[in-house]
């Protein structure tokens, strides 16, 4: 299988770039890369619980969007373009109550103006807890708008 990454990536450097963001607030860490996947972990604790002390579904979506967004941007020339989230969906299959969850992002469509990524999230027992998909819009940096 061909390598999909446009950039050579140093996971330590990528983790440092996320400092002082929601990513580090939730304890998300990039942990592994293959030729076509990006993995990361997130703790299941007071930062990511919902009131019933279960992993919050929104926290799973943050992990999925983080992995999908970073992976999408690693596949393009970020001097000219950027990948931004356009649509995310998640199916919560089971919960997690402790430990960490591990997300695995894999590209399922690589177009010029959009990319689609599937992110599967597993608990410490390697059981699937969330199956998500994100569609990323690929836009020119010059078209970036602010609210």
In a domain, residue 2? The reply is no
pLDDT, tens digit, 9 for 90 and up, residues 47-63: 999 999 999 999 999 99
46 annotated active-site: no
In a domain, residue 6? The reply is no
Looking at the predicted structure, is the pLDDT value of residue 146 above 60? no
Model confidence, pTM: 0.92
Angstrom distance (rounded) from CA 68 to CA 85: 8
pLDDT confidence of residue 61: 98
pLDDT confidence of residue 3: 77
**Chain position carrying tokens 């998300």:** 28
In a domain, residue 132? The reply is yes
Query: For residue 127, what are the domain limits?
Result: 11-143
pLDDT, tens digit, 9 for 90 and up, residues 20-46: 999 999 999 999 999 999 999 999 999
In a domain, residue 5? The reply is no
Contact 101, 121 (CB under 8 A): yes
Where do the DSSP E strands lie in 10-143? 29-33, 37-43, 81-92, 100-110, 114-122, 128-140
In a domain, residue 4? The reply is no
**Number of domains making up the chain:** 1
Higher pLDDT, 144 or 9: 9
Contact 136, 117 (CB under 8 A): yes
In a domain, residue 115? The reply is yes
Tell me the torsion sign for CA atoms 45, 62, 5, 12. Answer: negative
Lowest mean pLDDT among 4-13, 18-27, 31-40, 127-136: 4-13
77's CB contacts (< 8 A; 6+ apart) are 6
Higher pLDDT, 144 or 72: 72
What CATH number has the domain bearing residue 52? 3.10.129.10
In a domain, residue 3? The reply is no
In a domain, residue 130? The reply is yes
Tell me the torsion sign for CA atoms 116, 34, 112, 70. Answer: positive
Q: Which of 65, 80, 89, 120 is catalytic?
A: 65
């Amino acid at each position: 299988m061909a390598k999909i990454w446009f950039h050579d990536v140093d996971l330590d450097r990528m983790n440092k770039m996320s400092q002082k963001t929601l990513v580090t607030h939730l304890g998300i860490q990039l942990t592994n890369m293959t030729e076509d996947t990006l993995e990361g972990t997130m703790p299941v604790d007071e930062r990511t619980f919902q009131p019933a002390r279960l992993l919050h579904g929104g926290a799973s979506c943050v992990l999925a969007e983080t992995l999908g967004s970073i992976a999408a941007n690693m596949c393009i020339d970020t001097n000219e373009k950027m990948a931004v989230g356009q649509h995310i969906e998640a199916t919560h299959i089971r919960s997690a109550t402790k430990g960490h969850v591990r997300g695995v992002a894999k590209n399922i469509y690589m177009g010029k103006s959009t990319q689609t990524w599937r992110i599967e999230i597993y608990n410490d027992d390697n059981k699937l807890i969330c199956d998500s998909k994100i569609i990323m819009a690929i836009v020119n940096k010059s078209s970036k708008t602010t609210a």
